[in-house]
Every structure is written in structure tokens, then in C-alpha cells.
Structure 1
Amino acid sequence: MKTRQMVFFLVWAGFILYAWMVAPNGNDGYLNQLIRMNDPDPLLLTVFSLLGLFPITFMILLLTHDNSRIPAWPFAAGSFILGAFALLPFFFLSTAEKNRSDRIPSTLKRVLNAVYFHVLLMVSTTMLIIFGLLQGDFTFYAQAFKTSQFVHVMTIDLFVLTGLSIYTLHWDQQKTGVQNKSFLWGALPVIGVMVYLVQNKDQRRQKIEG
């Protein structure tokens, strides 16, 4: 097992153990509140919504180059439900070698890599984050983080997915030949990935369609 694969395996295993053994055991009905939209706290709603948007960014990045031995799409699809728990295994099971043609139809790749789609995600996510920061109750969220396993794990998941974004953008740069340091945009949840995609749209399009 390569160093990269070992690191991702340890992160995945550590995250599972953390959620099981370290996260608080309380369950105050926050998930039910969010699903039913029963007046959830705006900051809580924002974080929950970001976890629904993050898988879209990984669908764009991973399915653009889905040509290795292990298919990327099941892991990207699973992240809509399980977040980083479903996504991390791809990074320690996959290999860097290309050994087949892309699994994803060219039409779907064009839709996923359409600039208007990226701009729409960027604008909607920006509005979502501004709403959460301005209207949310940070004291309420901090208390929920301390007492609720769901909120606690959800918050950690957001940070893990953000870290994965940085790595995946760097991986995308290697695939598409982008030479700048724009992979650091991944530190800004979802929005940064869209900025990277728009900023490097021409170079990526040439590589993807070529």
C-alpha cells in the first residue's frame, strides 16, 4: 500500500472510531428538525446544506477523470448520504494509473463541467453561507455540537470534506495540467471548488475534451 493510500485509510478509520467512541451520545432531534424544516437554526441548516452540496463538487471532479481500476461514481454518489465516510475509501482503494477509457458519457461530463452550472453553485452557496453566518445562533450551534452526536459528526465531516477538496483539486491539476496554486481554493467550502473550475475552465476543457 502506498503512503497516500495508507494516510487516507488511517483518516477514514480514525474518523469512524472518533464518531463511534469520542463524539457525544446525545440526540436532541436536530436531524428530524432539519428534515421536517421545523424552524431549524440557520447556521445548522447551512452546515447541513453544505454537506448536500459537497458531493456535487466531488461528482464534478472525480467523474471528469473516472478511468482508473476502481470506479469513482459509487463513492461520489454514496457521499450524498454518508459524506466523507463514503468518499474516503475511494482515495485509498484507487490507483493513479489510468487503465481504461472514461466510464462517464461525454454528455454528462459536459454538463458537470459547464461554466453556468459552476457559477450557479458558487452564487447559491455564497448566499447560503451568508445567510447562515448572519442569521445563525453560534451559541446554539456550539451547544448542539457538545451534546448531539449528529451535529458533532456533521461538523467534523464538513472539515474532512474541505480537506478532501484541497487534495482533489491538486489531483485534478495533475490530470489537467493546471500549473498554478489554485488548488488552495479548496479551503473555502464548495465555493472555492467552483472558483477553481471557473478560473481554469479553458485549460481543463482542452484536456477533458481532447
Structure 2
Amino acid sequence: MKNKIIFGSIWLGFILYAFIFAPPDQPDTFTLIQNLSTGNWTGINPLIIALFNIMGIWPLIYSCVLFIDGRGQKLPAWPFATLSFGVGAFAILPYLAFRQPNSQFVGKKSGLIKVLDSRITGVLLTLGASILVGYGLTQGNWGDFIQQWQTSRFIHVMSLDFCLLSFLFPALLGDDMARRGMKNPAIFWGVSLVPLLGPLWYLITRIPLNEMQPLTTSESTSISV
């Protein structure tokens, strides 16, 4: 119940802020999104290009944890992970509100989970994110970005979405570490306190999942006795 209240309140507050209190939509917003999506980046601030593409990496980072966490949940994780590619934290927050603590992974890894659990996936995501961060920081115009952040709802909300996804990742991190037998609090806080690069480092260094078969009825009875 506590998680429902906390994450539900954040979700509702983010929606209200995005549509009521954020700067207004600009007439060229649709054209900007279209150009960003199709790679027509001429004349666009590299900081905005980098941020837009990083917002496509965040859902992949979350997928590397969500699909594994969803194995032990009543609600499937894939709809939320899929929607997060379009709406970011707006899709992740409802999942966090309704999920239950889940520190075990039962059964065999599917082909998708094997890919998401692979350190190679973490390396590829880290490489892509590092290139984008370096490009944005070295080529971007901060003055122009701040001005657009203050006047464009799309840029404003996308920036806040990045911050919120960074803030929310620890809500899944603890159980994912427990499933792997990783009990070092320093790792938890190091990953949690470094936006983007912390979770990426975790995907590279985390211990691979062990496949655990569900207990039979007789085994469960003998353990309880």
C-alpha cells in the first residue's frame, strides 16, 4: 500500500505538472520531434539531440531489470517497458506502484531475458550512452538549451523525465541485486547516486542470474516442517 501511495502520488504529480505548470507547447514541437526521430538534425542543439536519444536508452536500461522483475509479479512487465519508449517515467511509475517485492528469479531464462541479462548488452548500452553524453557536452550550446528548457514544454518535460528515471531506478535495484546474491550497500548507493552511468555500470558488472526451479509440493512441505 505504501508503494502505491508514493509512486501513485509521484505519477499524478508529474502528469499535473507536465500538462498544467510546465511551459506551453511551441508551434514547432511536432516538427522538432519528427526531425529528431528521423535523424534530420541540422540546426538542432546537440544537447537536445543527445538528450532525446538517451531517452531511448533509458527504457532499454529499465528493460534489463523490468523483464526479470516481472517474472515474479502478478502483472506483466512488458506493457510498461514497451510504453516507456514513448512516455518514459509516465509508464514506469504505474508498474512501480503495483509491483510487489521480489528477490528471487524462478524458472529458466527465456531468450529475451538471456539477452537482457547479458553483460554484452550493458557494454553496448554504455558505449552508446557515452558517445551521446560526450557529443552533447562537447558540442552543445548550454545557453540555448536553458532558454528552450524555460520556454518549450517538450524540452522541459523530457529533461524532468530524465531526472525522474534516474531517481526511480533504485526502486528496482535492491531486488535485482538480491536475486543475484549481491549484498554490498556501497554498490547500491554508488549505482543510485550516479545518474545514467551508475545503472549502466551496474548492468556491466552485476552477477548473472542463476536459474532456480520452483519447489514441488513435497519439497515445500518438507521445508515448512
Question: TM-score per shorter chain, which class?
Answer: 0.7 to 0.9
The 1-side partners of 2:165 and 2:188 are apart by 14
The 1-side partners of 2:103 and 2:127 are apart by 34
TM superposition shift of 1:105 = 5.3
After TM superposition, list the pairs within 5 Å mapping 1:145-160 onto structure 2: 145-160=149-164
Partner of 1:196: 202
Q: Deviations over 1:22-45 (max 9, x none)?
A: 101131433234234232211001
Partner of 2:49: 45
Partner of 1:16: 15
The 2-side partners of 1:55 and 1:97 are apart by 20
Give the partner amino acid of 1:76: A
After TM superposition, list the pairs within 5 Å mapping 1:102-113 onto structure 2: 106-113=110-117
- Answer yes or no: is the 8 Å Cα contact 1:63–1:73 preserved in 2: yes
TM superposition shift of 1:166 = 2.5
The 1-side partners of 2:197 and 2:210 are apart by 22
Root-mean-square deviation (CA, aligned residues, Å) is 2.2
Number of aligned residues: 204
SS at match of 2:67: helix
Q: 1:79 aligns with which of 66, 72, 84?
A: 84
Give the partner amino acid of 1:194: L
Give the partner amino acid of 2:171: Y
Q: 1:137 aligns with which of 123, 131, 141?
A: 141
The 2-side partners of 1:175 and 1:19 are apart by 35
Give the partner amino acid of 1:164: L
* TM-score of the two chains, using structure 2 as the length reference: 0.82
The 2-side partners of 1:124 and 1:100 are apart by 29
TM superposition shift of 1:154 = 0.4
Which stretch of structure 1 is more off in the superposition, 135-144 or 165-174?
165-174
Distance 1:106 1:33, change over 3 A: closer
SS at match of 1:71: coil
Distance 1:17 1:110, change over 3 A: same
TM superposition shift of 1:173 = 1.8
SS at match of 1:65: helix
Partner of 2:216: none
| The structure with more radius of gyration | 2
Which stretch of structure 1 is more off in the superposition, 162-171 or 139-148?
162-171
Q: Which runs of 5+ in 2 are unaligned?
A: 213-225
Q: Deviations over 1:38-59 (max 9, x none)?
A: 3221100111111100000111
- Answer yes or no: is the 8 Å Cα contact 1:42–1:131 preserved in 2: yes
TM superposition shift of 1:94 = 1.9
SS at match of 1:177: coil
Distance 1:89 1:197, change over 3 A: same
Give the partner amino acid of 1:209: E
- Answer yes or no: is the 8 Å Cα contact 2:96–2:171 preserved in 1: no
Q: Deviations over 1:93-148 (max 9, x none)?
A: 2222689966x952211111111121111122111101100100001110111111
The 2-side partners of 1:18 and 1:157 are apart by 12
* TM-score of the two chains, using structure 1 as the length reference: 0.88
